[in-house]
Amino acid sequence: MNFIVNILIGIVEEGLMYALLAMGMYITYSILDFPDLSVDGTFPLGAVLTGVLILHGVNPWLCLLISFAAGMLAGTLTGLMNVKLKIIPLLCGIIMYTAMLSVNLVIIRTGTNGGAIASFFTKKTVFNSVPASVIPERIGGFYLRTVIISLILVIVCKVLVDLYLKTKNGLLLRATGDNEKYAVMLGKDPGSMKIFGLALGNGFAALAGSVIAQNKGSADQQMGIGMVVLGLASVIIGLSIFKRVKLLKGTTMVILGSLIYKASYQIVLELGLPTEWNNFIKAVIFLIALVIGGDQIHKLVRGLLKRPRKEGENVRAE
């Protein structure tokens, strides 16, 4: 029984951490209709930046904010390429991801004196420093502090996103994703809203990288491999399975989608497959998510091929 409970705790723990990534991709993919592939670069940006900063004595809670800001900066650059240079979303993400490979490598090598991994196992993190340290590490014989802290972080981020989406700017962000012409009719620049949405989404991707790095006690740029698959699968699973549950907000759906994705992945791992099959398993789970996604996939394809519209250009109603 304890073995099963520990597995469930591990699923919830990782699922909640990756839910931060899923929320970011929910903003860019579902709300903005912009499939952003740059998260494979901004996720490890948050991780390596956090690792280097913690090694140099920076407060781990402050590292979360710095990583979020760094991710927003990268997302802003992605948006500028799309809005100002008229590059299609797919290529914007590829260009930014390619650039981040070098940026992340420079950060980690500079911060570790030439190392490829930032290890900080003995340093304080958000999971063992004040105020997290006031929570007992073990509750009922199980290690639950990490789950509790992860849950608090996810709830805070979810509430803030939900509150933002109810504001005037949040409604404009939704309008930009649904129909850019409508945003123009309101006298607003859809380009600026798109840039901000991409900044916000990548900020959450970097925040997820920071949290996961602090949980692992180390960071490297390889952590970003497969994050687009994981994030999109979580979004598609959540929105597809729970779309008929009217009481659930989109952010809640993608959080649940992240938990379901991690549970599916863990179940397959328990079958005892060699570790070299891990990426294949992720691909299969993503394929299943695509099959059950239905309308969500049509939206993704449209976003991948979407050309930036010029101001005043007619927009087909969705």
Model confidence over 159-198: pLDDT tens digits?
999 999 999 888 889 888 877 776 666 667 788 999 999 9
C-alpha span between 289 and 188 (Å, rounded)? 35
pLDDT at 294: 58
Strand partners, 218: 119
Mean pLDDT calculated for residue range 25-40:
91
pLDDT at 314: 41
Q: Which residue has the higher pLDDT, 72 or 6?
A: 72
Tell me the average pLDDT of the chain: 86
C-alpha span between 134 and 15 (Å, rounded)? 23
pLDDT at 316: 36
Would you tell me how many other CB atoms lie within 10 Å of the CB of residue 210? 34
Name the pLDDT band for 317 (thresholds 50, 70, 90).
Answer: very low
pLDDT at 79: 95
Residue 236 has pLDDT above 60, yes or no: yes
pLDDT at 77: 97
Strand partners, 118: 219
Q: Which residue has the higher pLDDT, 273 or 224?
A: 224
Mean pLDDT calculated for residue range 258-274:
83
C-alpha span between 236 and 102 (Å, rounded)? 30
Q: Rounded to two decimals, what is the model's pTM?
A: 0.89
C-alpha span between 193 and 175 (Å, rounded)? 9
Name the pLDDT band for 120 (thresholds 50, 70, 90).
Answer: very high
